[in-house]
Structure 1
Amino acid sequence: MGKICYMKLKGSQSLRLRLLVATLSSKSIIIEDIRADSTWPGLRPHELSFLRLLEKVCDDCVVEINDTGTMLKYKPGIIMGGRHLVHDCGVNRSIGYFLEPLIVLGLFGKKPLTIRLKGITNDAKDPSIDTFRSTTLPILKQFGVPAEGLELKIESRGVAPKGGGEVVLSVPMVPNSLKATKWVDKGLVKRIRGVSFSTRVSVQFENTMIHAAHGILNPLLTDVHIFTDHKAGAPAGMSPGYGISLVAETTSGCVISADTTVSYARGEDDADLEDDRKALIPAEEVGKQIAAALLGEIKQGGVVDSTHQGLLFLLCALCPKDVSEVRVGKLSPYGIEALRHIRVFLGVKFVMKPDASTGTVNLMCLGSGFQNLSRKVS
């Protein structure tokens, strides 16, 4: 057996992205100085949980962590997929933190993936499960991912600090490869849809959020409908909270999203929980803020919102050796990090052409020719 060559990286930034592209490219990595100078050095609980998740969906991957957690050695395995998998995501980050990389890995597994994820379904840090259903999954279809077998089912909701939510993700495997795309026409917004939710609080919170959002959106567009999803009992998880997710659908098939959640802080987020309880954003303000946030995303002029730029670039890079062209608004920090890591791990370079008249950026790349080799491994 030959000696394993490790790519050396430093720091905790983009750890999830690094592990994802390392797994896809089958490149072993060593990450050093993970928060070495921090008061609390080393890997965080949600990062350890993500490593455990990789071990569940991949066969023969090797994870080694030093005593302080400041150094990680990772050798990717074969992406297996599989059914009836279960993973507890914990309560440090929401399920959304785990979903994006899991969806991409599931596309290139040996078998279709079905996994139950437990934890926080909605928070203000990561995209909510509603956004994944309304926006992320439709983006995959632009790259030839079959709609059959692609599903995210919400069984119960859970917000910080205690969680208690459960979702079931199903991802079909790509038979051979994705399909290169030319996706530059954003189109005009034809309707806005949304979902509001409340757990262990009065349904009046939802009504107030919806009314406030309508007050901003209806003067601009009449076709606005926001559904309610009030939960009580076991399906409401273990903590009170409320939130809203909006998605704008355009004439060219683009879906632009924005979401937010209001709940009590996790223990590590605020030393004085009682002070945080008093500072929760009123439901009316939440409705106004999320409507304004959606309009801001639409104004940027991209075919996806800023949250999905990294995923969009990665899917383009994983296409066959054909040209993909996409248009985005102002590049987000995560989008820039994705471009850098795609170049390092997959060898794909994007040609960027800013359009000063619209404030958008056109990006073109030649796909890496990535194929689903896992299904061919006996």
Structure 2
Amino acid sequence: RRRRFESPCCSTPHDRPNVMGTPLRYQGSNFLRQRLCLSTVSGRPIVITDIRVNDEQPGLRDFEASFVRLLDKLCDGAEISIDETGTQLRYKPGQIIGGDGLVHTCPPSRCLTYFLEGLVLLAPLAKQPLSIRLKGVTNGALDPSCDTFRTATLPLLAKFGISEQLVFKVLKRGAPPEGGGEVIFNCPTIKKIVPVEVLDEGKMKRVRGVAYTAKVSPQFAARMVDSARAILNDFLPDVWIYADHSKRPNCGNSPGYGLSLVAESITRCLKSADACADIAAADAAGDPERRPTALGTPEEVGAAAARRLLAEIELDGVADTAHQALVLYFLSLGEEIRPGRVRLSKLNPSAVQMLRHIRDFLGVSFTIREDQGDLGTVVLSCLGAGITNTARRTF
């Protein structure tokens, strides 16, 4: 039987079980954002131990500590305790408040989308609409770029009823290692999550993209576009890539360039891919470990982004691998009026762990069956936990 519960800011119409006060215990630093966000939504405390205990630099990294501070700004009444070594984290969630006028400076070790992906999970269930200004790296190699977040992640939220007053603007471009970028993110609140059924991916009809450059020659954008179109035009004629050149004062402190691509199907399903130049690694010609994997020239960046997009399209499924966990998360929060169903490609490690965390925190289990045919996809269905935003005014 599924556990039913209510939390300070989000609730279901059922009684809270006795285990709500018992903290869940995890080990290691993997999937920290998932655990903290699901703990906040469910109201279940957590204890995370052995965070990189065997590493040369044990404990939380700077971007993980920054995400915890961001969570503290977003919520009211949360209790956060980190030991002296940083290898143990205790978190007792509070109420998701939201609000406007929030400003957070992110470390340059991770892209701003690392923090935006966490905000997307919590902001729709806040007491007040969220308006926040983030500062840091807008385009990095470890995370999806801010352009991909705008063109692929936010349209995906519209399928779950989160679309009105959803605003995202890139004010300044910031490339690693010094960053200096700036974005604004506004997210509305909703009363409940609508269960969805998305099974038909459809054929791809067009590709759109953004080739951005900052503190480098504008010709780099044209070279990336030509390299990407040389690959994509063999499969699709409708390819249009916008060149976005940033110069002072609209760019950060470091030079950089990259390409973000999004393919749209006839059923309005989106697949995204991006690539950016690692200038520091490309210049390190004497480093045999980094140079073979570094994207240095604009032609390499454009070709890499195009090939990654084609690989995502080949996997089928209604969402790309970077957004599988997000889709599963919102499906688990849906109303209990009907089950939600979605067809995905082979699940990546983040999506697999999201299924486990959803079972632990929300008591929701997914039914997984292999799709018929030679598509290599699976259909996941579940009856949501019925999470409702009790703090949101409805009159």
TM-score between the two structures when normalised by the length of structure 2: 0.90
Match of 2:149 among 108, 122, 132: 132
- The aligned counterpart of 1:351 is 367
What is the deviation of 1:4? 5.0
CA distance in 2, matches of 1:179, 1:368: 12
Contact 2:123–2:189 (CA<8 Å) still a contact in 1?
yes
- The aligned counterpart of 2:356 is 340
Task: Give 1:269-288 correspondences, 5 Å limit.
Answer: 280-288=295-303
What is the deviation of 1:148? 2.1
What is the deviation of 1:277? 8.8
Q: Is 1:32 aligned to 2:73, yes or no?
A: no
Runs of 5+ unmatched residues, structure 1: none
The total of aligned residue pairs comes to 370
Contact 2:214–2:256 (CA<8 Å) still a contact in 1?
yes
Letter in 2 for 1:363: L
Letter in 2 for 1:47: E
* Pair 4,317 (structure 1): closer, same or farther in 2 beyond 3 Å: closer
Match of 2:269 among 232, 241, 254: 254
- The aligned counterpart of 1:207 is 222
* Pair 280,294 (structure 1): closer, same or farther in 2 beyond 3 Å: closer
Match of 1:168 among 176, 180, 184: 184
- The aligned counterpart of 1:44 is 61
Contact 1:159–1:263 (CA<8 Å) still a contact in 2?
no
- The aligned counterpart of 1:121 is 138
Contact 1:264–1:277 (CA<8 Å) still a contact in 2?
no
Identical-residue share of aligned pairs (%):
46
What is the deviation of 1:274? 7.9
Note the alpha carbon deviations across 1:301-360, whole angstroms, 9 max, x for none: 110100000000001001111200001111111111111111111111111112251111
What is the deviation of 1:48? 0.4
Say which SS state the counterpart of residue 374 (structure 2) adopts.
Answer: coil
Letter in 1 for 2:324: Q
- The aligned counterpart of 1:222 is 237
Match of 2:74 among 51, 57, 60: 57
Say which SS state the counterpart of residue 389 (structure 2) adopts.
Answer: coil
Match of 1:70 among 67, 72, 87: 87
Note the alpha carbon deviations across 1:102-139, whole angstroms, 9 max, x for none: 01211000000000000000011111111111111111
Letter in 1 for 2:252: G
Say which SS state the counterpart of residue 243 (structure 1) adopts.
Answer: strand
Letter in 2 for 1:105: L
CA distance in 1, matches of 2:265, 2:246: 30
Q: Which moved more, 1:36-45 or 1:2-11?
A: 2-11
Q: Is 1:184 aligned to 2:184, yes or no?
A: no
CA distance in 1, matches of 2:332, 2:192: 11
- The aligned counterpart of 2:116 is 99
CA distance in 2, matches of 1:201, 1:218: 27
Q: Is 1:292 aligned to 2:307, yes or no?
A: yes
* Pair 31,93 (structure 1): closer, same or farther in 2 beyond 3 Å: same
Contact 2:278–2:296 (CA<8 Å) still a contact in 1?
no
What is the deviation of 1:199? 0.6
Q: Which moved more, 1:281-290 or 1:116-125?
A: 281-290
* Pair 231,277 (structure 1): closer, same or farther in 2 beyond 3 Å: farther
CA distance in 2, matches of 1:119, 1:274: 29
Letter in 2 for 1:150: L
Letter in 2 for 1:143: F
CA distance in 2, matches of 1:314, 1:343: 11
What is the deviation of 1:226? 0.1
CA distance in 2, matches of 1:263, 1:343: 38
TM-score between the two structures when normalised by the length of structure 1: 0.94
Letter in 1 for 2:136: G
Q: Which moved more, 1:105-114 or 1:231-240?
A: 231-240
Letter in 2 for 1:65: I
Note the alpha carbon deviations across 1:192-246, whole angstroms, 9 max, x for none: 1000101111111111110011011112111110001001112111101100000
* Pair 172,39 (structure 1): closer, same or farther in 2 beyond 3 Å: same
RMSD: 2.0
CA distance in 1, matches of 2:352, 2:296: 31
Task: Give 1:305-320 correspondences, 5 Å limit.
Answer: 305-320=320-335
What is the deviation of 1:16? 1.1
Say which SS state the counterpart of residue 316 (structure 1) adopts.
Answer: helix
Contact 2:256–2:279 (CA<8 Å) still a contact in 1?
yes
Say which SS state the counterpart of residue 257 (structure 2) adopts.
Answer: strand
Contact 2:179–2:254 (CA<8 Å) still a contact in 1?
yes
Say which SS state the counterpart of residue 46 (structure 1) adopts.
Answer: helix
Q: Is 1:326 aligned to 2:346, yes or no?
A: no
CA distance in 1, matches of 2:133, 2:51: 29
